[in-house]
């Protein structure tokens, strides 16, 4: 290996936001993560939604707004043609 170009490799402790910790090797001693294999929905098999920044809440609000408009659509006459929902 060429000298002075490789970062130091050390034993690292990984701390997840769920409380799980485990050890591995990395270039930093402490790694703080938000998801790990103990809490990620893919590994747990649960339908838990990992929401970042209220994205799910925003989607639900838009769904609630869009659903009544869809139900009215077949009954709506030609005079009251609804405009398509504005795109964000």
Name the nearest CA neighbour of 69 among 84, 50, 49. Answer: 84
Q: CB under 5 A: which stretch of 5-13, 14-22, 66-74, 80-88 binds Zn ion?
A: 14-22
Minimum CB distance to Zn ion smaller for 18 or for 56: 18
Q: CB under 5 A: which stretch of 17-25, 48-56, 66-74, 80-88 binds Zn ion?
A: 17-25
Q: Which of 16, 48, 58, 83 forms a contact with Zn ion (CB under 5 A)?
A: 16
Say how many Å lie between the first and final Cα of the chain, rounded: 52
Q: Which of 12, 13, 15, 20 forms a contact with Zn ion (CB under 5 A)?
A: 20
Q: Name every residue whose Cβ is closer than 8 Å to that of residue 8 and which is 6 or more positions away in sequence.
A: 27
């Amino acid at each position: 290996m060429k000298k002075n170009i490789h970062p130091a490799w050390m034993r690292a402790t990984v701390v997840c936001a769920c409380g799980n910790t485990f050890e591995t090797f990395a270039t930093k001693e402490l790694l703080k993560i938000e998801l790990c294999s103990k809490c990620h929905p893919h590994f747990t098999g649960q339908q838990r939604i990992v929401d970042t920044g209220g994205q799910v809440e925003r989607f639900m609000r838009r769904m609630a707004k869009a659903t009544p408009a869809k139900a009215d659509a077949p009954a709506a006459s030609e005079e009251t043609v609804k405009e398509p929902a504005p795109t964000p």
